[in-house]
């Protein structure tokens, strides 16, 4: 598992510590290339949509969670999906 954010590495580091994240939080800063590649970057505002992708070992997207304001939907939805695959 990993996270990607358009924030700076310093902001991501502080955020990861604050939340006690146990996975890497990568920075798509300052160019937003990952957000552009996935079609979720709003270049005018310099932000990306809050999305979660469950990607298998072969690189196939198996599940997408698009819940911009529901922060809990992302980890809970991903975990629920993964459990359903077992």
10-residue stretch averages of pLDDT, the chain, 86 residues long: 87 89 87 93 91 93 94 91 89
The pLDDT of residue 41 is 94
CA separation, residue 35 to residues 2, 14, 46, 84 (Å): 15, 21, 10, 28
The pLDDT of residue 30 is 86
**What is the CB neighbour count within 10 angstroms for residue 7?**
17
The pLDDT of residue 19 is 84
The pLDDT of residue 33 is 93
Report whether 29 contacts 7 (CB < 8 A). Answer: yes
Coil, helix or strand at residue 59: coil
Contact partners, residue 77, CB within 8 Å, separation at least 6: 52, 63, 65, 67
């Amino acid at each position: 598992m990993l996270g990607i954010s358009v924030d700076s590495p310093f902001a991501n580091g502080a955020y990861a510590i604050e939340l006690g994240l146990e996975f890497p939080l990568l920075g798509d800063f300052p160019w937003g290339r990952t957000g552009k590649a996935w079609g979720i970057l709003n270049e005018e505002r310099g932000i990306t949509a809050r999305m979660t992708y469950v990607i298998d070992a072969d690189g196939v997207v198996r599940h997408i969670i698009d819940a911009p304001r529901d922060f809990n939907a992302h980890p809970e939805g991903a975990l629920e999906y993964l459990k359903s695959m077992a």
